[in-house]
Structure 1
Amino acid sequence: MQEGGQGRSGEAGSGETCGYPAPREAHVDTASAPAQGGAERIPAGLRHAYLFAWFNALSYQVVLGSPMILYAKALGASATVLGVIAGMMPLLVILQIPAAAHIPRVGYRRFVVSGWGIRVLFIFGMALVPLLGGVLDARNQLALLLFLLFGFNLSRGISSCAWLPWITALVPAGLRGRYLARDAALQNLAGMVTLWVAALLLGGEGRPWQFATLFAFSAVMGGLSLVFLKRMPDVPPACEASGGRGPVPWLAMLRHPPFARLLQAVVAWSVAYGGMTAFTVAFLKVSLGYTEGHVLWATSAAFAGGLSSLWFLGSRLDHLGSRPVIQFCGLGWLAVVTGWMLMAGRWREPSPGWVLALQFLMGLLAALVQMAHTRLAMAVIPPMGRNHFFALYSVASNVTLGLAPIGWGLWIDAVGERTWRWLGLEWNRFSLFYAAVGLAFGVFVLLARRLVEPRAASMEALLREVLIESPQRFWLRFWPRT
């Protein structure tokens, strides 16, 4: 979601020979370290990218978020089907690998605009599905919905391969953390507004016409986002190996040391995080008996948490580095899933306050991890072969993110209604789900310690910066003293 900075497209260097790094070359973008001198500025044209981000988030949070999960649940979808819906978008990102070869011929902006335009048409189709109750039964409506979701995610999966290379070329390296923090805050604010609109519209138990209106709102917002996407300045695609011809050395890219370690951590994160949103919505609906409206109000707290990531880090990501943020968030996620596990295991009576607090932390930690991962990828991926590196990064992350909820859904359906008590907890499908997710986050924490990022601060430095040396230390005065 960025524009400006056309000079950044020359990072491959005039006069350099296009090619991929040697398999063991330890290239790391030196700009991943703190920006020096304050010479770089956010490009002025970036306002169109931020406006695109705003309207795009108002659109996709309906189709890819809690409202779609709730509608599918209203049609009788099982946990496995919910996993397919949650995993379809990231799974189809695998199409980025064949699509990346066509970016130099088509160009960044045209590539993205085409895919985003097609997917808006599919959203208009989804808006008609709830109105077909007199023609189709619930099972056939669900099948039609899955078909339209497949088309939506297919067009997105192909066109999204141009997004990260485009953004990397537009935003100066020393300001990428600041840009990502602002972008994440804007998208989370839009997501929160979307869920408020959905909660007000659906009320208690949503009716078909209410879901149809909500999907139509998503389509209109998607159409508006295209207006600003077309206004973003284009840049020439980055130089590719052999002028974009010949076989791509995927194995050499996978062996590129900083990139390989990042991929391992991202895959572990995707396994752990993959089903959290969808199955937490199912837990609130099935186990706690929340209505659609109550679920949407509760999950909107996650977007409030994501919005607060701008306050939590702001521009600090550029001088602290990504690695300490990722390590800190891994430990935070272990605490969050423990809270959900205790709630699902009836260790304590679930209360709205606990639900809102855990949702808030989920949104905050997810936003921090995602922006830190993206910034680190921008730093360790070389300019030469950038399109294919980013395609490989996105595919590894998103395919895992897509398979994970399907696997978690199968696990939850396999456990079914069986329950037993052990260690003071009720072990049921949801408490077992959260316990298994906790193990996955433990692996993520271990892999995060191996990430390569020269001159990154330690996690202790991050905590000192945020809790003691920053202006937010004012709030510590209110902490109870013993």
Structure 2
Amino acid sequence: MTRQHPSQEDRDESAPGLQAGKHSPKGGDVLPRGLTHAFWFATFNAFSFQIVLGSPMILYARSLEAGAAVLGLIAGMMPLLVIFQIPAAPYVERVGYRKFVYGGWSIRVMIIGLMSLLPLLSPWLNPSSTLGLLLAALFGFNLSRGISSCGWLPWITALVPASIRGRYLAVDTAFVNSASFAVCLLSAFALGSNPPPWRFAALFAFSAAMGAISLSFLKRIPDVAPPREDRGSGQPVPWGAIAGFSPFRRLLWFAVAWSFVFGGVMVFGVAWMKHSGVFSEQTILLLSSFSFVGGFGSLLLLGERLDRLGSRPVLLFAQTLTGLMLCGWTAMAGGLIPASLGSVALLMAVAGLCGAVVQMANTRMVMAIAPAMGRSHFFALFSVVSNVSLGIAPVAWGLFIDVFGARRLSSLGLEWNSYSSFFAAAATTLLAAVFLCNRLEEPQTSSMQRLLKDVLIESPQRFVLRLWGRGSAP
């Protein structure tokens, strides 16, 4: 059984900054030492979930003759089941952050272990039956994840000082994307071309093993006690007042719009690569790994800028890149530019960068907006609204692609097929996201022009001055 209150060892290891905004004069801008375990947990967790929720699972479902709507359901199931954070939120403070998250993650690992047996049953089950069992296992996995993740953000917010949350999120994203890149390469070489079922079984077993290792690091993350007013108050949660809080409401609307822009890009990017017949399964996984290269690049791009300049200019910058990326996908799916390894790798890298940047900036903004009392409920509502939208989006886009079917029209130098039409529709939806992003309220923020000046002019100048100083040193 894990402890709700931190021991002295936990306090020493995580100091300074067990409580957001309270840190010592000497160490307030340093990440708490205890968070090293959080970074390693994130790493091994990525080794696990990127197999179960990423391209390997999409390819396995495709091998079972899953259509676009089913692929959309698989991609959307994880964010959709986050809705169970709403009924789970009142129990987080009663159970304790670490105990609550650890219990849910343990159930996830057991389900992955059972899932690894499914490919081995292919001699006795037809593809439809196997696909049905797979969907049931994924439902259980994502249900457990949706409930237990309710405690993660309040826990981390209480651990990390407010002044360095952007830096923490950037480092965490770098760890996750590095591990995701490595596991994507491993999956590519493990599956090869036209993989037999046993290779998928081995990959899922590896996912379960990595999940079990991640639990050992999760258990070492310093625990903190929730605010006293949040524990066992018994009062009904004022969800309407929370949703009506102006800065939070505007962030929710933006999150919904962004989810419909980005929700189907990764899954149907992979599906289009498979549909085109140009790339093998191994090549698709290798190309998918570039999305994690882009995600890791968010650390190099942002660094401490997220804390210095704020979330809103970073979000606007990401929207601009997303528009260019979607135009590139539309042109490639429409036959205007060739489907080469270099062009697909570039688009996947930009998609990974944009996804990571928006996730970091959104998370940092809700951390800044949510008050200490009732923080779990703010995080739960934000996670539910954004993730349910992220879950509905690929299902809706999958139905769009299936209904469009095999139609092909020629206009503006493009072939308008189901995939080029999907990417163009997502690009059109981006206009609404940009409008809502401009209306976000942030306590301390800068402009996108200031961000671009810092990235494109001031940072290169600082780099040149450092080199000049080293060259002129005696």
TM-score (norm 1): 0.91
Which of these residues, 437, 440, 454, is aligned with residue 443 of structure 2?
454
Which of these residues, 280, 304, 313, is aligned with residue 315 of structure 1?
304
Cα distance in 2 between the residues matched to 1:244 and 1:146: 38
- The farther-off stretch of 183-192 and 230-239 is 230-239
CA shift, 1:5, in A, is 4.8
Cα distance in 2 between the residues matched to 1:242 and 1:200: 49
Alignment-derived partner of residue 4 in structure 1: 14
Cα distance in 2 between the residues matched to 1:242 and 1:63: 34
Which of these residues, 443, 462, 467, is aligned with residue 456 of structure 2?
467
Q: Which has the higher contact order (CA 8 A, sep 6+)?
A: 1
Cα distance in 1 between the residues matched to 2:288 and 2:176: 15
Which of these residues, 283, 287, 290, is aligned with residue 279 of structure 2?
290
Cα distance in 2 between the residues matched to 1:39 and 1:211: 46
CA shift, 1:238, in A, is 2.9
CA shift, 1:242, in A, is 8.7
Cα distance in 2 between the residues matched to 1:93 and 1:278: 19
Identity, % of aligned pairs?
A: 54
The superposition leaves residues 106-140 of structure 1 with CA deviations (integer Å, 9 ceiling, x where unpaired) of: 00000000000001011011111110011111111
The superposition leaves residues 56-86 of structure 1 with CA deviations (integer Å, 9 ceiling, x where unpaired) of: 0000000010000000001000000000000
What are the residue-to-residue correspondences of 1:96-107 with 2, within 5 Å? 96-107=85-96
Q: SS of the residue aligned with 2:221?
A: coil
Q: Is the 8 A contact 1:188 1:307 kept in 2?
A: yes
What are the residue-to-residue correspondences of 1:252-291 with 2, within 5 Å? 252-291=241-280
Q: Is the 8 A contact 1:261 1:452 kept in 2?
A: yes
Q: Is the 8 A contact 1:104 1:244 kept in 2?
A: no
Which of these residues, 408, 413, 427, is aligned with residue 424 of structure 1?
413
CA shift, 1:40, in A, is 2.8
Alignment-derived partner of residue 118 in structure 1: 107
CA shift, 1:244, in A, is 2.8
Q: Is the 8 A contact 2:155 2:224 kept in 1?
A: yes
Structure 1 gaps, min length 5: 14-30, 476-482
Cα distance in 2 between the residues matched to 1:399 and 1:388: 16
Q: Is the 8 A contact 1:239 1:385 kept in 2?
A: no
The number of equivalent residue pairs is 452
CA shift, 1:39, in A, is 3.8
1:170 equivalent to 2:150? Answer no
CA shift, 1:50, in A, is 0.6
Alignment-derived partner of residue 364 in structure 1: 353
Cα distance in 2 between the residues matched to 1:472 and 1:443: 36
Q: Is the 8 A contact 1:4 1:171 kept in 2?
A: no
Q: Is the 8 A contact 2:17 2:32 kept in 1?
A: no
What are the residue-to-residue correspondences of 1:368-447 with 2, within 5 Å? 368-447=357-436
Q: SS of the residue aligned with 1:244?
A: coil
Structure 2 gaps, min length 5: 1-9, 465-474
Change (3 A) 1:248 1:363: same
Q: SS of the residue aligned with 1:232?
A: coil
Cα distance in 2 between the residues matched to 1:473 and 1:76: 54
Cα distance in 1 between the residues matched to 2:14 and 2:394: 37
Alignment-derived partner of residue 17 in structure 1: none
CA shift, 1:349, in A, is 1.9
Q: Is the 8 A contact 1:467 1:473 kept in 2?
A: no
1:238 equivalent to 2:227? Answer yes
- Alignment-mate amino acid for residue 58 of structure 1: F
1:147 equivalent to 2:157? Answer no
Q: SS of the residue aligned with 1:426?
A: strand
Alignment-derived partner of residue 60 in structure 1: 49
Q: Is the 8 A contact 2:17 2:161 kept in 1?
A: no
- Alignment-mate amino acid for residue 211 of structure 2: G
Q: Is the 8 A contact 2:19 2:161 kept in 1?
A: no
Q: Is the 8 A contact 1:127 1:215 kept in 2?
A: yes
Cα distance in 2 between the residues matched to 1:154 and 1:315: 35
CA shift, 1:335, in A, is 0.6
1:109 equivalent to 2:119? Answer no
Change (3 A) 1:6 1:400: farther
Cα distance in 2 between the residues matched to 1:315 and 1:221: 30
1:251 equivalent to 2:240? Answer yes
1:129 equivalent to 2:118? Answer yes
CA shift, 1:315, in A, is 1.4
- Alignment-mate amino acid for residue 429 of structure 2: A
Q: Is the 8 A contact 2:16 2:27 kept in 1?
A: no
Q: Is the 8 A contact 1:9 1:170 kept in 2?
A: yes
CA shift, 1:37, in A, is 9.4
What are the residue-to-residue correspondences of 1:344-359 with 2, within 5 Å? 344-359=333-348
CA shift, 1:289, in A, is 3.1
Cα distance in 1 between the residues matched to 2:219 and 2:211: 13
CA shift, 1:173, in A, is 0.3
Which of these residues, 72, 85, 92, is aligned with residue 61 of structure 2?
72
Cα distance in 1 between the residues matched to 2:461 and 2:171: 18
CA shift, 1:204, in A, is 1.1
The superposition leaves residues 153-180 of structure 1 with CA deviations (integer Å, 9 ceiling, x where unpaired) of: 0111111100100010000000000000
Cα distance in 2 between the residues matched to 1:238 and 1:360: 41
Q: Is the 8 A contact 2:177 2:296 kept in 1?
A: yes
Q: SS of the residue aligned with 2:415?
A: strand
Alignment-derived partner of residue 4 in structure 2: none
Q: Is the 8 A contact 1:49 1:232 kept in 2?
A: yes
- Alignment-mate amino acid for residue 32 of structure 2: P
Cα distance in 1 between the residues matched to 2:306 and 2:40: 23
